[in-house]
Amino acid sequence: MIFSQLKNLGVLGINNRVGRYILRHNARSSYPLVDNKVYTAQRAKAWGIAMPENYLIIENYGSLKHFETKIVNYDSFVIKPANGSQGNGIIVIKEVIREEKDGRIRLSFRRSNDKIMELDELKHHISGILSGLYSLAGQSDTAIIQQKIDKHPIFDKYSYGGIPDIRVIVFMGYPVMSMVRLPTKSSDGRANLHQGAIGAGLNLSNGHTNNAVIRNQVVDFHPDTNHTLSDLQMPFWREILELAARCYDMVGLGYLGADIVLTPDQGPILLELNARPGLGIQIANLAGLVPRLEKIRLEGESNLLARQRVEYSMKNF
Q: Is 27 in the site for other proteins (CB under 8 A)?
A: no
Cα dist from 15 to 22, 154, 235, 276, whole Å: 10, 37, 35, 12
CA 131 to chain CA mean position, Å = 23
Helical axes 37-47 vs 237-251, angle rounded to 10°:
110
Helical axes 237-251 vs 306-316, angle rounded to 10°:
130
**Triad 19, 21, 24: Cα angle to 5°:** 80
Which of 67, 77, 109, 134 contacts other proteins by CB under 8 A?
134
Which of 102, 120, 220, 265 contacts other proteins by CB under 8 A?
120
Cα dist from 293 to 153, 180, 235, 304, whole Å: 34, 20, 26, 17
Q: Nearest approach, Cβ of 120 to other proteins (angstroms)?
A: 6
Which of 96, 110, 132, 316 contacts other proteins by CB under 8 A?
132
- Of the CA atoms within 13 Å of residue 300, those in its CB half-sphere come to 21
The CA distance from 49 to 260, in Å, is 11
Stretch that binds other proteins, among 39-47, 210-218, 239-247, 307-315 (CB under 8 A): 210-218
The CA distance from 77 to 64, in Å, is 16
Q: Is 252 in the site for other proteins (CB under 8 A)?
A: no
Stretch that binds other proteins, among 7-15, 28-36, 104-112, 147-155 (CB under 8 A): 7-15
Letters for 275-294 (x = contact with other proteins by CB under 8 A, - = none) are ----x--xx--xx-------
Q: List, in order, residues 6 or more apart from 35 with CB less than 8 Å away.
A: 83, 136, 275
Q: Is 16 in the site for other proteins (CB under 8 A)?
A: yes
Q: Among residues 209 and 211, whose Cβ is nearest to other proteins?
A: 211
The CA distance from 26 to 23, in Å, is 6
Q: Is 2 in the site for other proteins (CB under 8 A)?
A: yes
Stretch that binds other proteins, among 101-109, 153-161, 216-224, 291-299 (CB under 8 A): 216-224
Q: Nearest approach, Cβ of 175 to other proteins (angstroms)?
A: 21
The CA distance from 232 to 221, in Å, is 11
Q: Interaction with other proteins in 155-194: which residues (CB under 8 A)?
A: 194
Q: Nearest approach, Cβ of 48 to other proteins (angstroms)?
A: 34
Q: Among residues 54 and 192, whose Cβ is nearest to other proteins?
A: 192
Q: Where are the alpha helices (DSSP H) in the chain?
A: 2-9, 14-16, 23-25, 31-35, 37-47, 67-71, 119-130, 237-251, 280-285, 290-299, 306-316
Q: Nearest approach, Cβ of 269 to other proteins (angstroms)?
A: 26
8-state DSSP, 287 = S
Q: Among residues 54 and 187, whose Cβ is nearest to other proteins?
A: 187
Q: Interaction with other proteins in 61-80: which residues (CB under 8 A)?
A: 61
Which of 43, 123, 185, 238 contacts other proteins by CB under 8 A?
123
Chain contacts with other proteins (rule: CB under 8 A): 2-3, 5-7, 9, 11, 13-16, 19-20, 61, 88, 120-121, 123-124, 127-128, 131-134, 138, 194-195, 211, 213, 216-218, 279, 282-283, 286-287
